[in-house]
Amino acid sequence: QIAIGVKKEVDLSAWYQSVSVLRKERDRVLLKADMLEYYSVSGCYILRPWSYGIWEEIQDWFNKKIKAMGVQNASFPMFVSSKALEREKDHIEGFSPEVAWVTRAGSSELEEPIAIRPTSETVMYPYYAKWIKSHRDLPLKLNLWNNVVRWEFKHPQPFLRTREYLWQEGHTAHLTKAEADKEVLEILELYRRVYEELLAVPMIPGVKSEKEKFAGALYTTTVEGFIPASGRGIQAGTSHCLGQNFSQPEMFNIVVEDPNDPTGQGKTYAWQNSWGLSTRTIGVMVMVHGDNQGLVLPPRVASVQVVVVPCGITAKTSDADRNKINDACDELAKSLIDIDIRAKADLREGYTPGYKFNDWEQKGVPVRLEIGPNDLAKQQTVSVRRDTGAKAPIALADLKTTVPKLLETIHNDMYAKALNDYNAHLKEVTRWEDFVPTLDNKCIAVIPWCEREACEDDIKERSGRSAEPQDERAPSAGAKSLAIPFDQDRWTPIEPGKTKCVGCDQDAKRWTMFGRSY
Ligand SMILES: O=C1CCCN[C@@H]1CCCn1cnc2cc(F)c(F)cc2c1=O
Ligand SMILES: [Mg+2]
């Protein structure tokens, strides 16, 4: 039966979040799995322990890695004066509609409205200018774990597009471009690993086009994800090289004497990076791995990796036998906890095994271990994988070797399946007439592209009003470039001067992913 009430392949957004139909909330995977609770302010959500625990696993892993790179965590105020925010006037105007402002405290109006941080460049960089006086103060590498507010008006989606979200934002300043370039890619690689090694979600690292990059950046690199159920790409993590755009005199004037200048008089402006990864990670994981029974958690981030459920206990079971089974479940959970597996025995009274199976399946627990009287007699347990449903008996004596291996196998199989899905939806397109049908087929079109912004505008426009007559119910939103993958060797080499751009027939430069996106 479908525990979630609607099939994922039938109505993805309804499957993903609750639909309040006639004031009757119909639960969906995020609610059913106790991941989140809807909140009284639109676009904001409560992150319950079942999802917050995943964020904590990501934080623990990422913190260890960036601290090893010499990055230090810090905290800055969430309020930005309008004067400070306007310092970035050039590209802010594109974002100003989504800035949230405090205009009043109690009954008194504020002299000047104060913005709630949508990102922290304008909060931090005046102080970078103050703290960085000599080249010996470089590199400065700070990271913030905080929440930011962007008052988006597009339809909110829990974890994927919310008005407030948790993220980390790293902000570093370097003496040379080479150092900045190197760190941009080191951080992007960490983002790829968060997805692939923790969440079993495949990513394609690459660089954004001029149109899609952050306007204030010199260049933007990205890990691009894919949601097969919607056929949409998703920007899953970004690492920008800001160049000297923010350190120049008209901006924050972060300048040091240049130690490499032979005259000893030279000055150089700091080369800066900024990089961010948010709770969007959780939404991507839910969308990629979830099924019609609910959540499917990757073992490495699951708050409970193994749940042990007593079976075969009925009203007729003697107290002695009931206790024997329950004790065995407890022992089993404890022996797994001893080897650092997050295990839990579900000994709740008054719930049938079937109820418990469904409960933990909806919450996505990777492995269930069942123990009934005859399992006990055989000194075994029956394991059930959440990702494939496969059942296999395990001798209690083998638990400590078999269960860790099973969890690793599940991670690898979940990743392999998602990678296969991603690759199956990456279509090499070399003729324009195949472009829109590819998008309408819920695929990403990978095309030889000229990388001209005008061409990208044209592709977006032409693919919005699609050339082919198609049913008007599926308005195809225009395609945008998602990433220029660093790994170009996956596709037949582009011959300079020969291979033509699919959009405009001018010389193509690199293979580029185009698609609809979140
Ligand atoms: O994307 C990141 C990673 C972490 C640090 N920040 C960078 C660039 C953020 C680009 N950006 C993105 N969104 C914004 C929204 C706003 F309302 C606003 F005032 C400013 C911005 C804005 O600068
Ligand atoms: Mg935005």
Report CA(402)–ligand 2 centroid distance (Å). 45
Spatial distance between the Cα atoms of 451 and 469, rounded to a whole number of angstroms: 28
Among 449, 450, 475, 478, which Cα is nearest to 462's?
A: 478
95 lines ligand 1 (CB under 6 A): yes
Report CA(118)–ligand 1 centroid distance (Å). 6
| Lookup: tokens for 102 | 């405090």
Question: For residue 96, how far is the Cα from the chain centroid?
Answer: 25
221 lines ligand 1 (CB under 6 A): no
Q: Supply φ then ψ for residue 25, to 5 degrees.
A: -65, 125
185 lines ligand 1 (CB under 6 A): no
Ligand nearest to the CA of 152: 2
- H-helix segments, 338-480: 353-362, 373-377, 399-424, 435-440, 453-464
Identify the burial level of 358 via C-beta atoms within 10 angstroms of its C-beta, where 0-12 means exposed, 13-18 middle and 19 or more buried. middle
**The pLDDT value given to residue 432:** 97
| Ligand 1 site-directed mutation target among 62, 91, 95, most atoms within 8 Å of CB | 95
Among 366, 132, 431, 392, which Cα is nearest to 268's?
A: 132
305 lines ligand 1 (CB under 6 A): no
**The pLDDT value given to residue 2:** 55
- Atom number, ligand 1, closest to the C-alpha of residue 169: 4
Q: How many residues does the chain have?
A: 518
| pLDDT tens per residue, range 422-450 | 999 999 999 999 999 999 999 999 999 99
Total Cβ atoms within 10 A of residue 212: 18
* Angle formed at CA 38 by CA 27 and CA 282, multiple of 5 degrees: 85
169 lines ligand 1 (CB under 6 A): yes
Given the structure tokens 């000229």, which residue do they identify?
A: 450
Report CA(94)–ligand 2 centroid distance (Å). 10
Which residue, by CA, sits nearest to atom 22 of ligand 1? 119
Given the structure tokens 């594109």, which residue do they identify?
A: 94
Do residues 99 and 115 touch, judged by C-beta distance below 8 A? yes
Spatial distance between the Cα atoms of 83 and 163, rounded to a whole number of angstroms: 23
Total Cβ atoms within 10 A of residue 78: 16
119 lines ligand 1 (CB under 6 A): yes
| Lookup: tokens for 99 | 């800035």
141 lines ligand 1 (CB under 6 A): no
**The pLDDT value given to residue 225:** 98
Total Cβ atoms within 10 A of residue 414: 25
- Atom number, ligand 1, closest to the C-alpha of residue 150: 17
Among 230, 224, 171, 229, which Cα is nearest to 202's?
A: 224
Q: Supply φ then ψ for residue 412, to 5 degrees.
A: -65, -40
Report CA(122)–ligand 1 centroid distance (Å). 10
Do residues 455 and 504 touch, judged by C-beta distance below 8 A? yes
What long-range pairs does 182-185 form, CB within 8 A, spacing at least 24? Answer: 183/69, 183/141, 183/273, 184/221, 184/239, 184/240, 184/241, 184/273, 184/275, 185/221, 185/239
Helix axes 399-424, 280-289, angle to 10 degrees: 90
| pLDDT tens per residue, range 155-171 | 899 999 999 999 999 99
144 lines ligand 1 (CB under 6 A): no
Q: Which residues of the chain have pLDDT under 70?
A: 1-3, 18-27, 91, 466-476
**The pLDDT value given to residue 20:** 43
- The helix/strand/coil state of 131 is helix
| pLDDT tens per residue, range 398-418 | 999 999 999 999 999 999 999
Report CA(513)–ligand 2 centroid distance (Å). 20
